[in-house]
Amino acid sequence: MAEKFESDLLRGSLDLMVLSVLASDPQYGYSIQKRLQEASREKVRLPAGTLYPLLHRLEADLLIRSWLDSSTGRQRKWYALTAKGKKRLTAQAAQWQQYADCMQSLIGNYLPAS
């Protein structure tokens, strides 16, 4: 129970996960981490060394934008989806769906009876 997914499984999907978390409302790094953790029932636990470089990449690609909030004593860096990011989210989600369908048809026979 609560054993993490293999790292390589996440590869190529983490961007999509983070974009989807940011879709509903702005978040800061740590809250993204917690949300993902919660939404996946502890199966996705992004180490800081994964999360922050990822956010920097997304921002460099203009998929998200950020601003600092120092008003709360503890400094937080908030992130929000850009228009480009929203487009990317729907595009990536659609592609992921196709990919999942493909995998499903390949491995369907070897899945435990549901």
Partner DNA sequence: AGCTATTGTATCGTTCGGCTATACATAGGT
Partner DNA sequence: ACCTATGTATAGCCGAACGATACAATAGCT
For DNA, the binding residues (CB under 7 A) are 7-8, 10-15, 28-31, 34, 46-50, 52-57, 73-78
* Residue 96 interacting entry, from a copy of itself, DNA, none, C-beta within 5 to 8 Å by type: a copy of itself
Closest approach, Cβ 69 to a copy of itself, in A, equals 25
Distance CA 23, CA 93 (A): 12
User: 81 contacts which partner out of a copy of itself, DNA, none, CB within 5 to 8 A by kind?
Assistant: none
Residue 25 vs 113, nearer CB to DNA: 25
- Kindly state the smallest distance separating residue 68's Cβ from a copy of itself, in Å: 27
Amino acid at 109: N
DSSP one-letter string for 41-103? TTS----HHHHHHHHHHHHHTTSEEEEEE-TTSS-EEEEEE-HHHHHHHHHHHHHHHHHHHHH
